[in-house]
């Protein structure tokens, strides 16, 4: 999942989301392979031929149909559940590799075929999701009688699947359902168009239509707003709690943000008072102040090869996990600079596969991210066998970490044409992104559940972004960095002073940056909230909350400056800067409005939790094997098959409702 946007990157699309909620690796031959009862190490053999995935589509659809047809004959609730979960897994084992090939493969023919295979698989999935008979099965599985028979994990899965199907109006009479389906299609198209319009001068017409469409859809489904619909199943659950959190953070950080604003103002020569510091030029000034303060030569400690060693170090020192590099088999090779690692735990038990693809390439659609090729779960072999499918007892995860090192063109090659990873350097934000995405990758590796649909990072943003942001924190520790951040050529380890200086630079405008994030989250909540639109903000110093009502969407006219005016009104009671039209329009073009509607607060929320974990469990002794073990055992290994609020409060020994008063 992409990182939150930094103020400097507000106007540019920094990363693409790979928004498919499904993941995957199957080829026809894998179905029939005689698996040893012990371990079947997954492969990327779907890369052996450009037609491979396309040729798997028919077999996959056939297998899914056989599974679904077996449901009416199933003898128990559990068997019905297992048939459903198996269908989801089998489909993902097609769709996820397709998405990986589409995003990453350098060969156009591969990409084209994978896209085609994906479309066919996806169409089938949508058709299945619209089957009323399937919804009836979920209703049956959600009955009190069935709930008693199913495990917590299975019940959670049923609730989630049922909710997703209801989002398509499946439970409504046919005529209403038809309208909902059409609106859902329109909503998806508008969201795509908004992303594609990013480069154009005015994507705001599309944004307005998208927001209105989402609102109308939610109302038709019986919700007060689209945010209400979207927030079900998240840690904070509803808008009231989200606004409470945002107001709490504003209250906590505002004074410090004002002090940082004073500092920035000193450099904004022409204006003398604070009301003159605009959101528009604040990012520019901060970026240049940061660049000037960055310790000279610091970048020379962060070659691509070093960062990979850093990842290995984090794995071994904190999590007792070994990444063993192995060559790709001939039929798995997709790019000469990608690397394959087998992951083993302390007892040398195999855990999964991680592929690292660190360098920028024009053919990469996903510049920096984590793609799941296959989730870790326990396939329901009994029901699968009934329909002639032979999957291993245990399905191990396969994840791909992609970065865009050398995106500025500085790609030094060795004489044989391969990238010289010892000499190609990563910029500070690229190193942070790399560790962030690796946090997601490791969550997928540890989060091996029984149910496929709840494995790894398939939880809400306010939960899953916790661990990626926790992994970023390790980059502030000298004890950790000195192990692998060694200067190119001389191999001298990074000094304590340089690490402190880097931290200082990264935190120069920490509170101001946080307030930017609060503003983005507030805009996201207001635009997706009930109409008339409203914004909430801290009022006085006693923790009271004020409300400002802003009117209906249509009262703001159709032009883009009307939309900018609306954003300025939303941010005015929160920001410590002076909102401008330019700044407001930049805020509106951030792609999360398309990809994670009403979810942007999740980055801020999970960051607060991540910082708490760091402070309580790691900061005093980052390379602490016991703390790593505790994090895995108590949290990561549950994937998304847990109740995140309970889980994190128990792990931290804190009440998460007090997040705004944590130090």
Build a one-symbol-per-residue string for 464-503: x at contacts with Zn ion by CB under 5 A, - elsewhere: -x--x-----------------------------------
Instruction: Tell which residue, 382, 375, 377, has the closest CA to residue 78.
Output: 382
Asked whether the CA dihedral 261, 263, 269, 270 is positive or negative, the reply is positive
Stretch that binds Zn ion, among 48-56, 256-264, 332-340, 463-471 (CB under 5 A): 463-471
3-state DSSP of 508-560: CCHHHHHHHHHHHHHHHHHHCCCCCEEEEEEECCCCEEEEEEEECHHHHCCCH
Task: Kindly state the smallest distance separating residue 194's Cβ from Zn ion, in Å.
Answer: 21
Q: How far is CA 619 from CA 476, 611, 622, 653, in A?
A: 9, 9, 5, 17
Stretch that binds Zn ion, among 212-220, 307-315, 462-470, 548-556 (CB under 5 A): 462-470
Report residue 176 CA to chain centroid gap.
33
Build a one-symbol-per-residue string for 313-332: x at contacts with Zn ion by CB under 5 A, - elsewhere: --------------------
* Beta strand pairing call for 350-359 and 369-374: unpaired
Task: Kindly state the smallest distance separating residue 603's Cβ from Zn ion, in Å.
Answer: 8
Kindly state the tokens that stand for 467: 């661990």
Task: Kindly state the smallest distance separating residue 595's Cβ from Zn ion, in Å.
Answer: 12
Kindly state the tokens that stand for 487: 């200067």
Task: Kindly state the smallest distance separating residue 2's Cβ from Zn ion, in Å.
Answer: 6
Task: Kindly state the smallest distance separating residue 356's Cβ from Zn ion, in Å.
Answer: 17
Q: Please give the residues from 342 up to 401 whose contact with Zn ion meets the rule CB under 5 A.
A: none
With respect to Zn ion, which residue has the nearer C-beta, 1 or 652?
A: 1
Size of the site for Zn ion (CB under 5 A): 3
Task: Kindly state the smallest distance separating residue 440's Cβ from Zn ion, in Å.
Answer: 6
With respect to Zn ion, which residue has the nearer C-beta, 462 or 465?
A: 465
Q: Which residue's Cβ lies closest to Zn ion?
A: 1
With respect to Zn ion, which residue has the nearer C-beta, 1 or 636?
A: 1
With respect to Zn ion, which residue has the nearer C-beta, 56 or 468?
A: 468
With respect to Zn ion, which residue has the nearer C-beta, 465 or 608?
A: 465
Contact status: 1 vs Zn ion (CB under 5 A)? yes
3-class DSSP state for residue 262? helix
Task: Kindly state the smallest distance separating residue 640's Cβ from Zn ion, in Å.
Answer: 14
Task: Kindly state the smallest distance separating residue 4's Cβ from Zn ion, in Å.
Answer: 8
First to last CA, the chain: 27
Q: How far is CA 380 from CA 81, 129, 564, in A?
A: 10, 21, 52
With respect to Zn ion, which residue has the nearer C-beta, 213 or 368?
A: 368
Task: Kindly state the smallest distance separating residue 3's Cβ from Zn ion, in Å.
Answer: 5
Q: What angle do CA 237, 248, 234 make, to 5 degrees?
A: 15
142: burial class by Cβ within 10 Å (0-12, 13-18, 19+)? Answer: middle
Segment 118-121 long-range contacts (CB within 8 Å, at least 24 positions apart): 120/57, 121/57, 121/60, 121/61, 121/91, 121/94, 121/95
Contact status: 452 vs Zn ion (CB under 5 A)? no
With respect to Zn ion, which residue has the nearer C-beta, 468 or 571?
A: 468
With respect to Zn ion, which residue has the nearer C-beta, 14 or 45?
A: 14
Task: Kindly state the smallest distance separating residue 399's Cβ from Zn ion, in Å.
Answer: 13
With respect to Zn ion, which residue has the nearer C-beta, 168 or 468?
A: 468
Task: Kindly state the smallest distance separating residue 468's Cβ from Zn ion, in Å.
Answer: 4
Task: Kindly state the smallest distance separating residue 366's Cβ from Zn ion, in Å.
Answer: 13
Task: Kindly state the smallest distance separating residue 543's Cβ from Zn ion, in Å.
Answer: 31
Q: How many other β-carbons are positioned within 10 Å of the β-carbon of residue 650?
A: 12
Q: Give CA torsion, residues 108, 110, 112, 115, to 10 deg.
A: -140
Q: Is the peptide bond before 532 cis (omega within 30 degrees of 0)?
A: yes
Task: Kindly state the smallest distance separating residue 466's Cβ from Zn ion, in Å.
Answer: 10
**Cβ–Cβ < 8 Å for 332, 398:** no
Stretch that binds Zn ion, among 289-297, 458-466, 511-519, 545-553 (CB under 5 A): 458-466
With respect to Zn ion, which residue has the nearer C-beta, 157 or 469?
A: 469
Matching residue, tokens 């439970």: 171
Kindly state the tokens that stand for 595: 């990809």
Q: Please give the residues from 51 up to 70 whose contact with Zn ion meets the rule CB under 5 A.
A: none
Please enumerate in sequence order all residues whose Cβ is within 8 A of that of 632, keeping only pairs 6 or more positions apart, or say none: 319, 446
Q: Give CA torsion, residues 595, 598, 603, 605, to 10 deg.
A: -160
**In b/e form, how buried is each residue of 202-229, taking b as 16+ CB within 10 angstroms?**
ebbbbbbbbbebbbebbeebebebbbbb
**Cβ–Cβ < 8 Å for 529, 239:** yes
Stretch that binds Zn ion, among 292-300, 342-350, 461-469, 629-637 (CB under 5 A): 461-469
With respect to Zn ion, which residue has the nearer C-beta, 468 or 587?
A: 468
Residue 411's region, left for phi above 0, alpha for psi from -120 to 50, else beta, is: beta
What is the distance between the alpha carbons of residues 267 and 620, in angstroms, rounded to a whole number?
Answer: 36
Kindly state the tokens that stand for 295: 């310790």
Task: Kindly state the smallest distance separating residue 469's Cβ from Zn ion, in Å.
Answer: 8
With respect to Zn ion, which residue has the nearer C-beta, 113 or 468?
A: 468
With respect to Zn ion, which residue has the nearer C-beta, 154 or 465?
A: 465
With respect to Zn ion, which residue has the nearer C-beta, 1 or 180?
A: 1
Q: How many other β-carbons are positioned within 10 Å of the β-carbon of residue 91?
A: 25
With respect to Zn ion, which residue has the nearer C-beta, 457 or 526?
A: 457
Contact status: 229 vs Zn ion (CB under 5 A)? no
With respect to Zn ion, which residue has the nearer C-beta, 301 or 474?
A: 474
Task: Kindly state the smallest distance separating residue 459's Cβ from Zn ion, in Å.
Answer: 12
Asked whether the CA dihedral 361, 362, 365, 367 is positive or negative, the reply is positive
Report residue 506 CA to chain centroid gap.
22
Which residues contact Zn ion (rule: CB under 5 A)?
A: 1, 465, 468
């Amino acid at each position: 999942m992409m990182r939150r946007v930094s103020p400097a990157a507000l106007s540019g699309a920094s990363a693409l989301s790979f928004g498919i909620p499904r993941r995957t690796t199957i080829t026809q031959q894998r179905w029939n392979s005689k698996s040893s009862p012990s371990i079947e190490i997954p492969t990327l053999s779907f890369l052996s031929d450009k037609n491979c995935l396309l040729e798997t589509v028919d077999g996959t659809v056939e297998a899914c149909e056989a599974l679904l047809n077996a449901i009416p004959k199933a003898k128990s609730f559990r068997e019905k559940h297992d048939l459903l979960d198996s269908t989801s897994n089998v489909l993902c084992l097609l769709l996820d590799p397709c998405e990986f090939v589409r995003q990453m493969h350098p060969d156009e023919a591969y990409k084209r075929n994978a896209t085609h295979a994906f479309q066919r698989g996806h169409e089938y999935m949508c058709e299945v999701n619209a089957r009323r008979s399937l919804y009836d099965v979920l209703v049956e599985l959600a009955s009190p009688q069935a709930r008693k028979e199913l495990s917590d994990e299975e019940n959670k899965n049923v609730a989630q699947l049922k909710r997703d199907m209801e989002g398509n109006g499946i439970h409504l009479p046919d005529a209403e359902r038809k309208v909902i389906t059409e609106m859902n299609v329109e909503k998806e198209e508008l969201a795509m168009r908004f992303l594609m319009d990013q480069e154009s001068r005015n994507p705001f017409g599309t944004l307005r239509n998208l927001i209105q469409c989402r609102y109308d859809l939610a109302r038709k489904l019986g919700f007060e707003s689209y945010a209400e619909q979207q927030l079900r199943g998240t840690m904070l659950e509803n808008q009231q709690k989200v606004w409470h959190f945002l107001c709490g953070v504003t209250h906590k950080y505002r004074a410090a943000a004002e002090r940082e604003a004073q500092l920035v103002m000193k450099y904004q020569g022409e204006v003398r008072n604070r009301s003159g510091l605009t959101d528009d030029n604040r990012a520019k000034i901060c970026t240049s102040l940061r660049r000037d303060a960055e310790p000279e030569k610091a970048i020379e400690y962060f070659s691509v090869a070093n960062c990979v060693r850093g990842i290995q170090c984090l794995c071994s020192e904190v999590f007792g996990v070994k990444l063993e590099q192995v060559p790709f088999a001939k039929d798995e090779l997709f790019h000469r600079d990608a690397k394959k690692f087998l992951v083993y735990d302390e007892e040398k038990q195999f855990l999964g596969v991680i592929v690292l693809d660190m360098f920028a390439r024009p053919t990469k659609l996903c510049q920096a991210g984590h793609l799941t090729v296959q989730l870790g779960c326990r396939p329901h072999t009994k029901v699968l066998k009934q329909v002639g499918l032979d999957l291993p007892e245990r399905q191990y995860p396969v994840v791909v970490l992609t970065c865009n090192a050398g995106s500025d063109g500085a790609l030094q090659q060795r004489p044989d044409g391969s990238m010289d990873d010892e000499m190609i350097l990563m910029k500070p934000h690229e190193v942070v992104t790399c560790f962030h995405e690796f946090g997601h990758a490791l969550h997928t590796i540890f989060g091996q559940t029984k149910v496929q649909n709840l494995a790894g990072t398939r939880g809400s943003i306010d939960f899953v972004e916790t661990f990626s942001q926790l992994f970023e924190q390790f980059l502030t520790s000298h004890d950790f960095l000195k192990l692998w951040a060694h200067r190119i050529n001389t191999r001298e380890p990074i000094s304590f002073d340089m690490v402190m200086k880097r931290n200082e630079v990264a935190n120069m405008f920490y509170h101001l940056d946080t307030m930017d994030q609060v503003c983005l989250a507030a805009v996201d909540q207001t635009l997706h909230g009930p109409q008339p639109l409203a914004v909430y903000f801290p009022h006085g110093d006693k923790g009271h909350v004020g409300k400002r009502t802003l009117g209906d969407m249509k009262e703001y006219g159709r032009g883009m400056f009307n939309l900018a005016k609306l954003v300025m009104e939303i941010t005015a009671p929160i920001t410590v800067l002076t909102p401008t039209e330019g700044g407001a329009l930049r805020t509106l073009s951030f792609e999360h409005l398309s990809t994670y509607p009403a979810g942007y607060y999740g980055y801020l929320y999970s960051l607060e939790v991540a910082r708490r974990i760091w402070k309580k469990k790691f900061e005093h002794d980052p390379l602490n094997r016991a703390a790593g073990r505790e994090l895995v055992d108590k949290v990561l290994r549950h994937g998304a098959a847990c109740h995140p609020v309970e889980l994190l409060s128990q792990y931290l020994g804190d009440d998460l409702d007090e997040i705004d008063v944590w130090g």
